[in-house]
């Protein structure tokens, strides 16, 4: 018997599932806390919890991880040298890389050379910084129309330094030179980290005697083999929500459904249509930087199981900060339970997000750098077991600076512990994983400040979370609807209720506790599938192999010139038309529109077919869909631009030999989405 192993290293938990290859049945699952900042220990721990009898016969391992996202958010990537070729304008806040240079070169929108490449500048920059960086990134103006300069720079740097080089056109064929440069830079700084991560996983798998192929999930819900994952680690950002979405479809058997995933930090909403995740028209934004990475379209709010529940002016608030639940802290920190029972509440006049009767603070493993005097005082006072605000006051012999305390939390030097929705569910008996007594003490402390009984208080927390889930779902499905309108309808005071035609799948640890409450707010088929608590790990395993290629066909006009042209000819024939076809492999020119379109389609199909074949698919295992998005100045006229989009979809068993491809994964799926109107923007 052969099995496949899916792993998701999320922000709070690392989940794993084992699927039997013969029929796709989940035979075992496991869950452990994610290890921070290095998720490898958590991944090893979750595999340790699985039955060795299943693990030894695993032939495929597929992983989704927050590693890339966290690295960018925390700015812990490796140093990169960036070469910007062309007329770049750097924003006032500056380019994010420490080492970068702007050099002459680049191309026009038609792919013609705008200026000669400054090869001497490339050579000088590379030699100056080669000992200070781990990789290089190069982005050239309109490299999506002509990649010649980027490729020349790449070859030069590799010859001069031997270091890896990332080109902007390799990651995106979309317009937007600056965004391509950001994408290339972020991708380059992830390369060493991703190599180490993947090598560690492979080493752990081999040490267990597992002879299996390894895949990774991308943020568009597709899976890739290790070669592409190593070259394009940036494409794994936001792979967690993508894993949830794909997992929701698999667990329920619905090719089309909406997904609401309640994690520890946030709630994510997304949609899968005919087996293909709905993608965002805009590139993924991470750490404030806009990238050109194709990701699923999702609605995210800062409310999760670990969101901070706090009180102020007799009102209850949830989030947006994430904290360690009281019930979990009581298990993890010896002596914390006694502190919680004996803790004195601060004056309600001081209440704010960081001054609460159930909030404690503990150091993290991060090293402090450049602390202010007030930050250093507080940091030194937080030692050993978690301490309350009142204890800090006693140790410092003065009122602690709330601003400095908040700064230490933002710098990840201090982690907060407080009451959460997870604690509320422990009190209500709807989720039992840690110490429910600690949760009850927290509920009793907080409820008195909003004049509620503890159970009533916890029920209100549950209701607020469910309302947030419903709000996010409606905002996602009806883009652009004002929040006030959503809130009015969800209030139930206007004899109206939202009706949702597609099934709504809930994922997350204790998500079943919110099902009934959501049913009161919206009219929908709400499903909590078996194994909903490890849906991400399921999605990491069952994501399909998808290759998407976009090729632009652009019409161009040139004035008629020449000594033989008569005045009458100039009046009747003002221009000659030619068609540029911009492919990932280069620029081509045609005189006929249909010829250009046919070439674009055949080229894109060949790129898709070659990719799928290299990934282990036979032609019969791949479905291909071709769509066209056209831009016309006037209705009925020949389009000025045509974007040809070719999508190939196979099973998730890329890079696996055919004799181990499970039968249940051989089914085909293809999107039947209609092409939306094509809108053109920028250079």
Residues 331 and 442 in one domain: yes
| 527 CA to centre of own chain | 24
pLDDT at site 457: 96
Residues 312 and 431 in one domain: yes
State the burial class of residue 609 (Cβ atoms within 10 Å of its Cβ: 0-12, 13-18, 19+). Answer: middle
Residues 551 and 452 in one domain: no
Beta bridge partners of 5: 18, 61
Domain count, the chain: 3
Residues 447 and 587 in one domain: no
pLDDT at site 220: 79
**For residue range 610-659, what is the model confidence (pLDDT) as tens digits?**
888 766 677 777 888 899 988 887 777 788 889 999 988 875 443 333 33
Q: What is the pTM of this model?
A: 0.76
Residues 438 and 554 in one domain: no
pLDDT at site 575: 59
380-385's contacts with Cβ under 8 Å and 24+ in sequence apart are 382/414, 385/333, 385/334, 385/335, 385/336, 385/339
Residues 321 and 431 in one domain: yes
Q: Is the residue at 554 inside a domain? A: yes
Which range marks the domain in which residue 387 is found? 307-457
pLDDT at site 601: 95
Q: How far is CA 259 from CA 78, 211, 295, 680, in A?
A: 35, 34, 15, 31
Q: Are 84 and 189 in contact (CB under 8 A)?
A: no
Q: Judging by DSSP bridges, how do beta strands 58-65 and 3-9 pair with one another?
A: parallel
Single residue among 438, 457, 476 that ends a domain in this structure: 457
Low-confidence residues of the chain: pLDDT under 70: 73-74, 287, 557-576, 614-616, 651-683
- What HEC string does 563-602 produce? CCCCHHHHHHCCEEEEEEEEECCEEEEECCHHHHHHHHHH
Q: Is the residue at 54 inside a domain? A: no
Q: Is residue 655 left, alpha or beta, with left meaning phi > 0 and alpha meaning psi from -120 to 50?
A: left
Q: Are 642 and 553 in contact (CB under 8 A)?
A: yes
Q: Are 103 and 122 in contact (CB under 8 A)?
A: yes
For residues 456 and 450, what is the distance between their CA atoms, to the nearest angstrom? Answer: 10
DSSP code, position 107: B
Residues 187 and 312 in one domain: no
**For residue range 162-211, what is the model confidence (pLDDT) as tens digits?**
999 999 988 887 778 888 999 999 989 988 888 888 888 888 888 988 88
DSSP-assigned states of every residue in 331-391: HHSTTHHHHHHHPPPPPGGG-BTTB-TT-EEEE-SPPP-S--HHHHHHHHH--SS-EEHHH
Q: Are 366 and 323 in contact (CB under 8 A)?
A: no
Residues 453 and 550 in one domain: no
Q: Are 299 and 269 in contact (CB under 8 A)?
A: yes
Q: Are 26 and 17 in contact (CB under 8 A)?
A: yes
């Amino acid at each position: 018997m052969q099995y496949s192993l899916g792993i998701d290293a999320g922000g709070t938990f690392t989940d794993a599932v084992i699927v039997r290859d013969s029929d796709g049945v989940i035979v075992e699952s496991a869950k452990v806390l994610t290890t921070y900042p290095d998720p490898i220990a958590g991944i090893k721990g979750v595999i340790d919890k699985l039955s060795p009898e299943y693990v030894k016969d695993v032939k495929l391992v597929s992983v989704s991880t927050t590693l890339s996202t966290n690295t960018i958010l925390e700015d812990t990537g490796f140093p990169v040298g960036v070469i910007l070729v062309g007329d770049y304008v750097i924003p006032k806040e500056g380019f994010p890389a420490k080492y970068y240079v702007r050099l002459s070169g680049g191309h026009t929108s038609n792919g013609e050379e705008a200026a000669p490449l400054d090869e001497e500048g490339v050579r000088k920059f590379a030699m100056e910084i080669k000992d200070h960086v781990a990789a290089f990134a190069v982005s050239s103006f309109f490299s999506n129309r002509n990649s010649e300069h980027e490729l020349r720079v790449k070859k030069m740097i590799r010859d001069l330094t031997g270091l890896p080089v990332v080109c902007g056109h390799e990651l995106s064929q979309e317009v937007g030179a600056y965004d391509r440069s950001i994408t290339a830079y972020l991708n380059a700084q992830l390369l060493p980290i991703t190599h180490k991560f993947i090598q560690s996983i492979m080493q752990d798998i081999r040490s267990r005697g597992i002879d299996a192929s390894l895949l990774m999930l991308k943020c568009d819900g597709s899976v890739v083999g290790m070669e592409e994952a190593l070259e394009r680690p940036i494409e794994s950002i936001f792979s967690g929500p993508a894993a949830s979405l794909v997992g929701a479809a698999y667990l329920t058997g619905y090719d089309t459904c909406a997904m609401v995933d309640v994690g520890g930090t946030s709630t994510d909403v997304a949609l899968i249509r005919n087996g293909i995740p709905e993608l965002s028209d805009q590139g993924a934004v991470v750490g404030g930087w806009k990238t050109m990475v194709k990701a699923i379209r999702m609605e995210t709010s800062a409310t999760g199981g670990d969101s901070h529940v706090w009180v102020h002016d007799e009102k209850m608030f949830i989030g947006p900060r994430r904290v360690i639940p009281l019930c979990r802290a009581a298990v993890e920190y010896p002596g914390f339970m006694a502190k919680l029972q004996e803790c004195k509440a601060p004056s309600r006049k001081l209440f704010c997000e960081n001054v609460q009767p159930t909030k404690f603070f503990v150091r993290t493993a991060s090293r402090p750098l450049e602390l202010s005097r007030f930050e250093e005082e507080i940091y030194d006072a937080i030692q050993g077991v978690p301490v309350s605000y009142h204890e800090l006051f006693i140790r410092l012999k003065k009122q602690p600076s709330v601003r400095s305390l908040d700064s230490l939390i933002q710098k990840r030097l201090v982690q907060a512990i407080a009451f959460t929705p997870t604690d509320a569910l422990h009190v209500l008996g709807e989720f039992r994983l840690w110490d429910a007594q600690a949760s009850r003490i927290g509920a009793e402390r907080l409820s008195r400040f909003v004049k509620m009984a503890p159970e009533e208080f916890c029920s209100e927390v549950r209701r607020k979370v469910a309302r947030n889930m419903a709000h996010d779902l409606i905002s996602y499905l009806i883009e652009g609807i004002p929040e006030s309108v959503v809130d009015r309808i969800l209030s139930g005071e206007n004899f109206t209720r939202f009706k949702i035609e597609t099934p709504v799948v809930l994922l997350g640890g204790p998500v079943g506790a919110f099902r009934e409450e959501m049913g009161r707010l919206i009219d929908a088929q709400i499903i909590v599938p078996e194994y909903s608590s490890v849906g991400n790990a399921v999605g990491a395993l069952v994501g399909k192999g998808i290759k998407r290629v976009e090729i632009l066909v652009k019409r161009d006009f040139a004035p008629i010139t020449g000594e033989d042209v008569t005045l009458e000819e100039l009046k009747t024939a003002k221009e000659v038309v030619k068609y540029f076809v911009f492919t990932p492999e280069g620029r081509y020119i045609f005189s006929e529109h249909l010829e250009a379109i046919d070439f674009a389609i055949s080229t894109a199909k060949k790129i898709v077919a070659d990719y799928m074949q290299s990934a282990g698919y036979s032609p019969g295992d791949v479905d291909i869909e071709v769509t066209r998005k056209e831009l016309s100045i006037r209705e009925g006229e020949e389009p000025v631009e045509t974007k040809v989009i070719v999508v190939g979809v196979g099973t998730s068993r890329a890079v696996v030999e055919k004799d181990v491809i499970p039968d249940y994964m051989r089914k085909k799926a293809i999107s039947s989405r209609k092409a939306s109107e094509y809108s053109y923007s920028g250079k």
